[in-house]
Amino acid sequence: MKLLLQPKQRHVDDLLSGPARWIGEGGGRGCAKSYGEDALMLKRRGEFPGTVGCIVMRNYDQVRKYHIEPILRNWPELRPYYNKGDANIKFPTGGKGKETSQIDFSYGDNLQEIERRFRSANYYDIFVDQAEQFLEDELREMNKACRWPGVSGGKCKMLLAFNMGGAGIQSLKKWFHSHEYGEREDPADFTFLHVDPWDNVEWARASLAEDGLSDHDYYYQWTDEQRFQYFIARTDWGKSLNAEDDAIRNRDLLGSWESLEGAYFGRVFDRRAMLVTAHQVGKLLNYWDTRWMSTDWGKAHFCVSYWHAKANVSPAAVRDVLGWDVEEPLSIVVTYRECVVNEMASPDVAARLVGVTPEKERSALKRYFLSPDAFGERDSSITTAASLGKVLREAKMPQPERADTDRAGGARLMYDLMTESKRHGSGGGDVWLISAECPQLLAAIPVMMRDQKNLDDVLKTDKSSARIEQDCFESARYGLKSMLSATNSVPAQEQARRILDEYAGDRTTQAIRMQEWELKRRKVITRRARWRAQSY
């Protein structure tokens, strides 16, 4: 079995042989972290015959697409040993006793699923890809299974590969950047390697061939700065990342820890509080509850649709389903279904929307909010909106309406909804819950960046390549802002406290935002007073 390792991947291999038990590998996008995990997992199973290792991602689709299929493609000799039903590969390692090593492919949407899969497991190594999508308690639960009988001295390894951003990035920052550990944790158990997209020669291979250069020239004759300059000047991926807005460039190209400070929802997104299973959704919603849909149209890029519902839930049901102790009925907004398609004509998109909507639910949907571009764009003799509407009408589903285009207002509404979720509705507003059936939305929210030119808005990052995160955010924003009242029903005192919390640490911005908020509030009060006076 031929294993080709790039220099940074060999560095990770050295760390796997070192004393640290927790190994972080983080930085920009496209650094060949996933391939490195595959190759090093195979290498270690050969070095330690008869052992079992595990590669983990958030859901099965991810682990299949980014690990199972690439391993079988890159090392086709392993195909006979792949067990699709158990999602593992058991293969002979050629040891003295002709031992069989094993690689398991695992996943988990929430802590309960992680506990179910790892509670009684034993793994010599656990490699977590896109570790930023996992919360600290989930990673710690996995680590409890990183053990092997008869082995000690930190030989069992937990490798966490991640990009900058995601629901769990603050825990990774704590361990691998600010070096904050628990009272009984040993700092020597943690080590970190920063990786960059230009560490991956595959992006530059075609250009190197054109220039008569080799991998050896790239890695061993050039400095890191020379590789960086070549990457952003001579590779498509490098040009794309380098052209992004500064906030995204710092995150995806440079892999900067400081880029995390620009996350719009960083202070309020709490995956644990917002995530619900499909089973919980079924227990929270009734057939009479208000339901609607939203779509961010895209033919040449991602077209993302969501299904939402709004309901009032009794304190008893809240305690039973969510485990929250509340005294009053809770108003919840649930985003419960996700549909992502790419490069589809509008009739096909509409057919997909009909197909994934249960027949009994179709007529219960009250409204359908569609991005405004679809009302002017055409992929036939009629507009995209009309084309979608024609198919939906036949299925007794609502006709498209122009979605609310207030980006800043929609982002603020989403921020407030997340704040309520984090506080379990204690502020008196609507609580937003997201089903595990919407994995792309859950992954997109924590990586949305704040627009430094307008701190109340989310940065629009569509300069170069299509970004599914942006499309997921837009579709959810259309659905929530268009359907829910634009009037903030949260008490004024609570609104003020949220502004102070959001800009904590930046007194200048805090003061500006408070002045703006007070001015808007006074204008609303004045308008209401005039209206009342005119009513008599």
Residues 480 and 490: their CA atoms lie apart, in Å, by: 16
Does 237 map to a domain? yes
319 pLDDT higher than 60: yes
534 pLDDT higher than 70: no
Same domain, 103 and 147: yes
Same domain, 159 and 211: no
Same domain, 278 and 424: yes
Contact in structure between 481 and 409 (CB atoms under 8 Å) = yes
Across 157-161, 352-356, 505-509, least confident range: 505-509
Contact in structure between 309 and 334 (CB atoms under 8 Å) = yes
* Section 113-140 average pLDDT: 96
Q: Which residue has the higher pLDDT, 505 or 200?
A: 200
Does 258 map to a domain? no
Listing DSSP states for 42-64 in one string gives: HHHHHHSTT-EEEEEESSHHHHI
Residues 41 and 58: their CA atoms lie apart, in Å, by: 18
Q: How many Cβ atoms are within 10 Å of 527's Cβ, its own excluded?
A: 10
Q: Tell me the per-residue pLDDT of 394-445, one tens digit each, with 9 for 90 and over.
A: 999 999 999 999 999 999 999 999 999 999 988 888 999 999 999 999 999 9
Q: Which residue has the higher pLDDT, 120 or 533?
A: 120
Across 149-153, 205-209, 337-341, 392-396, least confident range: 149-153
Angle in degrees, CA 506, 274, 439, rounded to 5: 105
Q: What CATH number does the domain containing 356 carry?
A: 3.30.420.280
Same domain, 388 and 421: yes
528 pLDDT higher than 50: no
241 pLDDT higher than 50: yes
Cα–Cα nearest to 114, from 148, 140, 83: 140
Angle in degrees, CA 140, 145, 151, rounded to 5: 120
Report the pLDDT value the prediction gives residue 51, as an integer from 0 to 100.
96
Does 315 map to a domain? yes
Does 265 map to a domain? no
Same domain, 486 and 504: no
Report the pLDDT value the prediction gives residue 185, as an integer from 0 to 100.
94
Does 122 map to a domain? yes
Residues 500 and 514: their CA atoms lie apart, in Å, by: 8
Number of compact structural domains in the chain: 4
Same domain, 328 and 408: yes
- Residues of the domain holding 231: 201-253
Same domain, 96 and 221: no
Cα–Cα nearest to 343, from 395, 307, 379: 379
Same domain, 183 and 86: yes
179 pLDDT higher than 60: yes
Q: Tell me the per-residue pLDDT of 73-104, one tens digit each, with 9 for 90 and over.
A: 999 999 999 999 999 999 998 766 578 999 99
Q: What CATH number does the domain containing 154 carry?
A: 3.40.50.300
Does 260 map to a domain? no
Last residue of a domain, one of 219, 253, 287: 253
Report the pLDDT value the prediction gives residue 512, as an integer from 0 to 100.
84
Same domain, 417 and 334: yes
Distance spanning both ends of the chain, measured CA to CA? 87
Same domain, 87 and 134: yes
Does 399 map to a domain? yes
Report the pLDDT value the prediction gives residue 464, as an integer from 0 to 100.
47
Same domain, 372 and 485: yes
Same domain, 243 and 329: no
188, burial (CB in 10 Å: exposed 0-12, middle 13-18, buried 19+)? exposed
Does 259 map to a domain? no
Q: Against a cut of 0.85, is the pTM above it? A: no
Q: 529: left (phi > 0), else alpha (psi -120 to 50), else beta?
A: alpha
